[in-house]
């Protein structure tokens, strides 16, 4: 009875998948994306590490099984019954692993920086769905795999080594490159259909181009310094530390501006100070120097001028992020920003504000908040 019920459910599921074959891949990608969005939290949490490692391992195995299926490798085996589901599993793992990137960095104040990788990934996935008839799917398939693999190791290696710098980022890239090339060579050697469909030189060339582009992105500081992330950035009138709690006094914007804590127009008393407060997430035991780079926009030259870099150490492990602040006196009126950066000058986040010096104006909706 139970066996009959299982067969019925499997048959019904297969019919549903075949009926909606056109939309099934994107649905499974979204399911993977949503699943991790609802379950992942901290990159150094055991559950997150296990889930991401399982996703990456399962994706690698599924790619291997899928690319050998066309050669009849799984004929008369238990895998033959399920091989039509392999592309859907691949999309699910693509979605799950790519969502992890968004989860860990969507809270960063500088979304334009942290979304760069995700935009590339979305373009690759859309190409995978829209250009199947023009471009061999295997090229895009392994291109997306390598991109996700690079991102995965860029997360994981610093977490396990408890250290992050340019050398570790480069090591992460080399590890992902070696793993991807080995997988391609194994599949190419075992699969005649793959050899007939793609050129090994072109496929490896594509992987090397993606590898070079990611490193160029890093060189031009367009990649966030994984696995660090800025939780919060506020420009304030006063900051004090009481019982390991920071009491931050700042101007609050209108209620409908929900995506930002502080008001962009900062009403400044020339005799007072301007404070920049930030909290930064870092994995447990990871230590790193960060800086507040104070910049003022020169209206005459149309350029940003670096006023001062003020640094401090961070130590990971706190859920709310490692907290710290810097301040400036004798500031000029005009547009300012404080970039929260690493030693390698990779941007964690940006605190934007405009200093207004008008004796007739009072600070707008001053609030005190504990961090």
Domain extent for 363 = 229-370
User: Does residue 153 lie in a domain region?
Assistant: yes
Q: Rounded to 5 degrees, what are φ and ψ at 316? A: -80, 175
Asked if pLDDT for residue 107 goes beyond 80, the answer is no
**CATH number, domain with residue 292:** 2.60.40.1930
Contact 74, 66 (CB under 8 A): no
Q: How far is CA 260 from the centre of its chain?
A: 20
The answer to whether residue 252 is domain-embedded is: yes
My answer on whether 89 and 211 are in the same domain is yes
Integer Cα distance of 312 and 292 in angstroms = 9
Mean pLDDT is lowest, of 31-45, 82-96, 191-205, 304-318, for 31-45
Q: Are residues 186 and 240 in the same domain?
A: no
Are residue 192 and residue 269 in the same domain, yes or no? no
| Paired residues of 248 in beta bridges | 239, 369
Last residue of a domain, one of 219, 239, 263: 219
Residue-wise pLDDT for 167-207, tens only, equals 888 999 999 999 999 999 999 999 998 888 888 999 999 99
Q: What are the structure tokens assigned to 236, written together? A: 């304030």
Report phi then psi at 360, rounded to 5.
-80, -10
Residue 209 lies in a domain: yes
Does 160 share its domain with 138? yes
Predicted model pTM? 0.74
Pick the last residue of a domain from 219, 244, 262.
Answer: 219
Note whether 194 and 46 are same-domain residues.
Answer: yes
- 211 and 258 housed in the same domain: no
Domains in the chain: how many in total?
2
CB distance 210 to 143 below 8 Å: yes
Mean pLDDT of 327-345: 90
Cβ atoms 157, 172 nearer than 8 A: yes
Distance CA 193, CA 69 (A): 9
Q: Are residues 275 and 339 in the same domain?
A: yes
- Quote the CA–CA distance of 150 and 178 in Å, as a whole number: 10
The residue from 219, 238, 256 where one domain ends is 219
Q: Are residues 17 and 135 in the same domain?
A: yes
Sheet-wide strand order for 229-236:
229-236, 274-281, 322-328
Residue 129 lies in a domain: yes
- Report pLDDT digits (tens) over 49-104: 888 899 899 999 999 999 888 888 888 887 777 777 788 888 888 877 877 766 66
Do 280 and 168 share a structural domain?
Answer: no
Mean pLDDT for all residues in the chain:
79
Q: Are residues 146 and 211 in the same domain?
A: yes
Domain-located, residue 204: yes
Q: Which sign does the torsion angle of CA 27, 29, 33, 39 carry?
A: positive
Residue 11 pLDDT level (bands cut at 50, 70, 90): low
Percent of the chain with pLDDT over 90: 29
Question: Do the domain assignments include residue 224?
Answer: no
What pLDDT shows up at residue 36?
66
Q: Do 43 and 170 belong to one domain?
A: yes
- Higher-pLDDT residue of 8 and 139 is 139
Q: Are residues 121 and 254 in the same domain?
A: no
């Amino acid at each position: 009875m139970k066996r009959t019920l299982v067969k019925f459910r499997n048959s019904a599921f297969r019919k549903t998948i075949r009926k909606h074959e056109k939309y099934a891949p994107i649905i499974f990608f979204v399911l993977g994306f949503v699943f991790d969005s609802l379950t992942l939290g901290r990159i150094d949490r055991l559950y997150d590490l296990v889930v991401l490692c399982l996703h990456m391992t399962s994706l690698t195995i599924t790619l291997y099984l899928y690319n050998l299926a066309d050669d009849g490798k799984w004929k008369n085996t238990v895998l033959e019954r399920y091989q039509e589901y392999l592309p859907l599993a691949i999309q699910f793992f693509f979605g799950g692993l790519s969502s992890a990137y968004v989860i860990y960095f969507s809270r960063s104040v500088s979304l334009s920086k942290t979304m760069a990788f995700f935009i590339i990934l979305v373009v690759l996935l859309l190409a995978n769905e829209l250009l199947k008839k023009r471009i061999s799917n295997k090229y895009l398939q392994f291109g997306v795999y390598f991109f996700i693999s690079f991102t995965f190791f860029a997360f994981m290696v610093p977490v396990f080594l408890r250290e992050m710098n340019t050398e570790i980022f480069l090591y992460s890239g080399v590890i992902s490159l070696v793993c991807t090339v080995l997988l391609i060579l194994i599949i190419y050697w075992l699969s005649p259909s793959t050899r007939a469909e793609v050129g090994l030189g072109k496929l490896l060339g594509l992987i090397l181009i993606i590898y070079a582009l990611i490193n160029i992105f890093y060189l031009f500081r367009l990649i966030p310094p994984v696995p660090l992330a800025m939780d919060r950035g506020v420009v304030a009138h006063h900051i004090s530390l009481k019982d390991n709690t920071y009491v931050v006094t700042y101007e609050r914007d209108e209620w409908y501006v929900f995506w930002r804590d502080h008001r962009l127009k900062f009403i400044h008393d020339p005799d007072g100070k301007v404070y920049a407060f930030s909290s930064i997430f870092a994995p447990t035991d990871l230590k790193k120097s960060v800086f507040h780079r104070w910049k003022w926009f020169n209206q005459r030259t149309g350029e940003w001028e670096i006023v001062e870099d003020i640094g401090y150490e961070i130590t990971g492990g706190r859920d709310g992020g490692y907290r710290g602040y810097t301040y400036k006196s004798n500031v000029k009126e005009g547009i300012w920003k404080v970039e929260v950066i690493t030693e390698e000058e990779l941007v964690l986040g940006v605190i934007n504000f405009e200093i207004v010096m008008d004796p007739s104006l009072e600070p707008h909706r001053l609030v005190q908040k504990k961090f």
